[in-house]
Amino acid sequence: MIKLTLKDGSVKEIEQAMPASEIIKGIGMGLYKAACVVKINGEIKDLRTVIDSDCEFEVLTFDSKHGKETFWHTASHLLAQAVKNLYPDAKLGRGPATENGFYYDFEVEKPFTPADLEKIQAEMKKLAKEGFELERFELSCDEAVKLMEERNEKYKIELIDKHNSKGEKLSFYKQGDFVDLCAGPHIMSVAPIKAVKLTQCTGAYWGKAEDGIQMSRIYGTAYPKASMLEEHLKQMEEAKLRDHNKLGRELEYFTTVDYIGQGLPILLPKGAKVIQTLQRWIEDEEYKRGYQLTKTPFMSKRELYKISGHWDHYRDGMFILGDPDDETKECFALRPMTCPFQYQVFLNRKRSYRDLPMRLGETSTLFRNEDSGEMHGLIRVRQFTISEGHLILRPEQLEEEFKGCLDLAKYCLETIGLAEDVSYRFSQWDPANPNNKYEGTAEQWEEAQGAMKKILDDIGLDYEIGIDEAAFYGPKLDIQIKNVFGKEDTLITIQIDMQIAKKFGMEYVDKDGKMKMPYIIHRTSVGCYERTLALLIEKYAGVLPLWLAPEQVRILPIKPEHNDYAYDLAEEMRDLGMRVEVDAEDDNIGPKIKQARFDRVPYMFIIGDNEVKDGTVTVRSRKEGELPAMPAADAIAKLKEEIDTKAK
């Protein structure tokens, strides 16, 4: 008998090996119809996977993250099938699931137009009604190449060669007459794809942009029910209104300039003020928690990166000054991270166990040569600032210090109001890909990952596992967050490194007088400031919490004779550290209020004859509406308390 431990802890027994799909049918046909994929011992597997041994067995539906990914991946195949039906000469590229749908790249004679999308969408709906089942099969390399040659799919042949060189299986999925090279997983048939919307057609590159192979990309989304699609489209309309790339420019937080470069935003006074506020708060909070502030160079000779391993593992992502292959001349690179620089603080003199843990923090400006297609507003840029830190410690201090890093990250997220929007990913190495991407032995990796797993499990953190998502030197806890369009990025990361100290000769004298290597934790507290600003603009639709708002109060005198009182109030409030502006334009009060609302100013103080005479203000709050007139001192105290407590 084969025993399956289900999600609720119950055990189901089967007499012989069988596909997961058949097992699910035995549990219930309703569950089978809703099933998208299964999780076997924590790993995502196709419904066609044969279960032949005892395991943990969980069925994932469209309501789950992996269920959606599988559903949308199948929808991308449906899109490709529709395109091939309508445009037989189109060449297939790639078609993955995305955060809220899917895309597929094609080489076509003429780029697709919105009118083409309507025809393709109609064809997809027709094919879905035919209910083709997806059949998985594997081929040898020669067989796979022959099949794709017969179908004149040159890009698939390129992918076959790539996967075969890595020793990966060459699997295909067939639906009707359509066949695609694909690792899966997929749902059982296209029938559940009831509602489809193709949203956009853009240009894309096959491989690197400099290769110049232009493709035509179609984006779309799909749902099991039309009502779910309608709800999603409504959310996307709301997302467009909150999109920081639009709203942040309208509110003058940042701008970009073509002749400066993509991914190099200019922070305007509002954006710079918010980041300055965050930065000062983080630096002060880290100081309270025992961090020492450092300031290190923006660039280094390549020799530093060779020692750290970044030259071998991260060189393509670096901005290099000079010829990287000419060893006879100096070559520099802008720093993509601060760790090898901060290690020099430890190495500055001989260290003992009494110096540890050494907590080093820095507001670091970093440079990464991101692909042009990845750039998006402030969320993914080529120059950015990060709350970076490295903790150098004795092995027995690892658990306490890691928990301290996580506590700081959680505190930061809760304070700025993003704690409920994040998820946690335990990013691990891929033992099948050790030589090309990772350093160290399997034993070192198992030790580091085992230590992190124990810590995460002990504190009861709810996390997912990300295989092949680790840094090249160690596992990490990635704190993930999505923007308004559902695109997921890493906001904060905490990493365990048991290897790099040896490369730099970092040693300390332990209690027994022997020289030992420290462990290192790489971490951020609030992550990338630019990305955080973008997420805050989207989260609050531009109305930032009072303590973060670039302009906290706008004083609106009704007539010119009220200006003196308004300026006196503004000076008093600025002396208390508040950010205040006076709109003394000779204009009616209505347009002034309208402009303040457009600018998302949290509070307005309106000044008229009675307010001047009585020493009061009439307060308009974005959250509370218009409040009764109150003494100016009381109004200022109310706002000061809200700022000091960092109320959301």
Q: Which DSSP string corresponds to 369-421?
A: ---GGG-BTTTB-SEEEEEEEEEEE-GGGHHHHHHHHHHHHHHHHHHHT-GGG
Check the annotation: does 390 bind a ligand: yes
Per-residue DSSP letter, 187: -
- pTM assigned to the model: 0.82
> Domain containing 145 — which CATH number?
3.30.980.10
* Dist. CA 537–CA 418, nearest whole Å: 12
How far apart are alpha carbons 543 and 539 in whole angstroms? Answer: 9
Torsions phi, psi of 491, nearest 5? -100, -45
Rounded CA-CA distance 614/612 in Å is: 6
Residue 385 forms part of a structural domain: yes
* Residues 426 and 571 both lie in one domain: no
Say what the pLDDT of residue 595 is. Answer: 95
Same-domain pairing of 467 and 356: yes
Q: How wide is the angle at C-alpha 575 spanned by C-alphas 572 and 578, nearest 5°?
A: 90
**Is 33 contained in some domain?**
yes
Domain that holds residue 262: 254-298+335-540
Do residues 570 and 582 make contact, with C-beta atoms less than 8 angstroms apart? yes
Residues in the chain, pLDDT under 70: 208-212, 433-436
| Any domain includes 323 | no
On whether both 531 and 639 belong to a single domain, the answer is no
Question: Where is the domain boundary, 208, 237, 266?
Answer: 237
Q: In this structure, are strands 18-19 and 50-51 parallel, antiparallel, or unpaired? A: antiparallel
CATH of the domain at 618: 3.40.50.800
Write the pLDDT tens digit of every residue in 73-117. Answer: 999 999 999 999 999 999 999 999 998 899 999 999 999 999 999
**Does residue 357 have a cis bond before it (omega within 30 degrees)?**
yes
For residue 247, is it within any domain?
no
User: CB–CB of 237/514 below 8 Å?
Assistant: no
**Rounded distance between C-alpha atoms, residue 340 and residue 345, angstroms:** 10
Dist CA 154 CA 440 (whole Å): 37
- For residues 363 and 368, what is the distance between their CA atoms, to the nearest angstrom? 16
Name the nearest CA neighbour of 520 among 504, 499, 538.
499
Clarify whether residues 97 and 167 are in a common domain.
yes
Is the N-terminal amide bond of 185 cis, ω within 30° of 0? yes
In a domain, 622, yes or no: yes
How many other C-beta atoms can be found within 10 angstroms of the C-beta atom of residue 361?
26
Q: Could you give the number of structural domains in the chain?
A: 4
Contact (Cβ atoms closer than 8 angstroms) between residue 312 and residue 436: no
Q: Are residues 529 and 562 in the same domain?
A: no
Consult the annotation and say whether 412 binds a ligand. no
In a domain, 597, yes or no: yes
Q: Which two tokens stand for residue 114?
A: 């919105």
Question: Are 375 and 276 part of one and the same domain?
Answer: yes
Structure tokens at 81: 């099938």
Helix axes 529-539 and 269-288, enclosed angle (nearest 10): 110
* Short-list 578, 596, 599, CA closest to 643: 578
Yes or no: say if 17 and 2 are a contact pair by the CB < 8 Å rule. Answer: yes
Per the listing, tokens 């009502």 go with 227
465 and 550 in a single domain? The answer is no
Helix ranges (H only) for 477-562 are: 500-504, 529-539
Q: How far apart are the C-alpha atoms of 600 and 621, rounded to whole Å?
A: 10
Q: Tell me what pLDDT residue 468 has.
A: 87
Q: Are residues 42 and 162 in the same domain?
A: no
- Sequence-ordered alpha helix ranges (H) in 417-493: 434-437, 442-458
Residue 316, in any domain of the structure: no
Question: Which pLDDT does position 436 carry in this prediction?
Answer: 66
Q: Are residues 367 and 510 in the same domain?
A: yes
pLDDT, position 545: 97
Q: Bridge partners of 12? A: 4
Are the C-beta atoms of residues 289 and 580 closer than 8 Å to each other?
A: no
- Whether 553 and 570 map to the same domain: the answer is yes
- pLDDT tens per residue, range 547-558: 999 999 999 999
CATH of the domain at 401: 3.30.930.10
Structure tokens at 77: 């195949």
Give the CA count within 13 Å in the CB-facing half-sphere of 446.
Answer: 4
Say yes or no: 155 and 225 in one domain. yes
In a domain, 259, yes or no: yes
- 522 annotated binding-site participant: yes
What is the pLDDT at residue 444?
86
pLDDT value at position 430?
85
Of 18, 43, 61, the residue at which a domain comes to its end is 61
Q: How far apart are CA 82 and CA 244, in angstroms?
A: 34
Q: Is beta strand 35-40 parallel, antiparallel or unpaired with respect to 292-293?
A: unpaired
Last-in-domain residue among 16, 40, 61: 61
Kindly state whether residues 156 and 16 are assigned to the same domain: no
